[in-house]
Amino acid sequence: MSDAHTRRVQEQFGGSAGAYVASPLHAAGEDLERLLAWGAARRGDRVLDVATGGGHTALAFAGIARRVVAYDLTEPMLQAARGHLQARGAANVGFVAGDAGALPFRDGSFDIVTCRTAAHHFADVGAAVRQIHRVLTAGGTLLLQDILGHDDSEASAFILEVERRRDPSHVRSYRTAEWKAFLRAAGLTVMDDFVIWKAREWDEWTGRMRMTAEARGELEAFVRRAPDRCRAAFDFKLTPDRVVSFTDRQILLRADRD
Ligand SMILES: C[S@@+](CC[C@H](N)C(=O)[O-])C[C@H]1O[C@@H](n2cnc3c(N)ncnc32)[C@H](O)[C@@H]1O
């Protein structure tokens, strides 16, 4: 990953660590329940949570695994996750800093790798998936969730601009076929996949990334100027004076290493 992109991620998330620990959208949801159900069925002893953020996925898996490693590029985020998990009494979680594209673990170290709401920040998703494949044991499983890319190019360009104005470290989100190609190319076999909808409350979503009032005003004007069909694709709810919410789709994938 380039130094400039690493710095962008660290700047964005370093100052927002507390907000990610507190975020209800990260603390729970159908997506986390599904990943956990897949994990419980797989009964993995050793779990790696890539891009752990506030540690919500690591915490959930700490309840079903012997040992969890929470891994993230942003040190202040890892510190916040450590405080969060210690306060919740999760004693079987270790914390390691680094890039998803260069995992500092031996081949075959983990039974399960989780990666939730994070891959759209990776500069090179293919490299991250190859690393995940390498650190998985034979028969191990990747449990992945991320924002799903839109099939319509105009809607896709619209939401990419919204995302990047809110968070310059957003790279892009991928469609189901793109995900399957990344996983297949790395040697992982997709066993299960599905899509869910997730609503974003605008004030919380923009506030969590500490947007200035000016930048937020410009973003809201951009959303209002966009073609109706782009807003409709993400179910944007607007009143005459504010943006209330929008909804995007999330992909969930379970993929095994042969
Ligand atoms: C939205 S948070 C993750 C949420 C978390 N997985 C959860 O379930 O609550 C995104 C995280 O990805 C991390 N991140 C972004 N790019 C990364 C990379 N290349 N390697 C490791 N972590 C990365 C950021 O530092 C941030 O903490």
- Mind listing the domains of the chain with CATH numbers? 3-149+169-199+247-257 (3.40.50.150)
What SS3 state is found at 86?
helix
What is the pLDDT, as a whole number, of residue 65?
97
Mean pLDDT of the chain: 96
Residue 13 Cα to ligand 1 middle (Å): 8
Ligand 1 site, CB within 6 A? 1, 9, 13, 20, 26, 51-54, 56-57, 72-74, 77, 99-101, 116-118, 121-122
- Cβ–Cβ contacts within 10 Å for residue 157, how many? 13
Q: How confident is the model at residue 1 (pLDDT cuts 50, 70, 90)?
A: low
Residue 231 Cα to ligand 1 middle (Å): 27
Nearest protein CA to atom 26 of ligand 1, as residue: 53
Residue 15 Cα to ligand 1 middle (Å): 13
Residue 53 Cα to ligand 1 middle (Å): 5
Task: State which ligand 1 atom lies nearest to the alpha carbon of 53.
Answer: 27
pLDDT in tens, 11-21: 999 999 999 99
Task: State which ligand 1 atom lies nearest to the alpha carbon of 128.
Answer: 19
Write down how long the chain is: 258
Task: State which ligand 1 atom lies nearest to the alpha carbon of 100.
Answer: 20
Does residue 2 surpass a pLDDT of 90? Answer: no
Average pLDDT over residues 219-247: 97
Q: How confident is the model at residue 44 (pLDDT cuts 50, 70, 90)?
A: confident
What is the pLDDT, as a whole number, of residue 257?
97
pLDDT in tens, 88-135: 999 999 999 999 999 999 999 999 999 999 999 999 999 999 999 999
What is the pLDDT, as a whole number, of residue 248?
94
Spatial separation of the C-alpha atoms in residues 167 and 205, rounded to whole Å = 10
Does residue 216 surpass a pLDDT of 70? Answer: yes
Does residue 237 surpass a pLDDT of 70? Answer: yes
Nearest protein CA to atom 15 of ligand 1, as residue: 121
Return the residue matching tokens 């069909």: 229
Pairing, β 136-147 against β 93-97 = unpaired
Spatial separation of the C-alpha atoms in residues 148 and 251, rounded to whole Å = 5
pLDDT in tens, 172-198: 999 999 999 999 999 999 999 999 999
User: Out of 16-25, 55-64, 149-158, 249-258, which region has the weakest mean confidence (pLDDT)?
Assistant: 16-25
Q: Show the DSSP H helices in the chain as ranges.
A: 3-14, 17-22, 24-27, 30-42, 56-62, 75-87, 125-135, 153-166, 176-186, 202-208, 213-225, 228-233
- Cβ–Cβ contacts within 10 Å for residue 24, how many? 9
Q: Which of 143, 161, 124 is nearest to 250 (CA)?
A: 143
Q: Cβ(70)–Cβ(81) under 8 Å?
A: yes
Q: Cβ(93)–Cβ(69) under 8 Å?
A: yes
Which of 72, 95, 173 should be mutated for ligand 1, with most atoms under 8 A from CB?
72
Amino acid at 116: R
Which of 52, 143, 163 should be mutated for ligand 1, with most atoms under 8 A from CB?
52
What is the pLDDT, as a whole number, of residue 63?
96
Average pLDDT over residues 65-85: 98
pTM (2 d.p.): 0.96
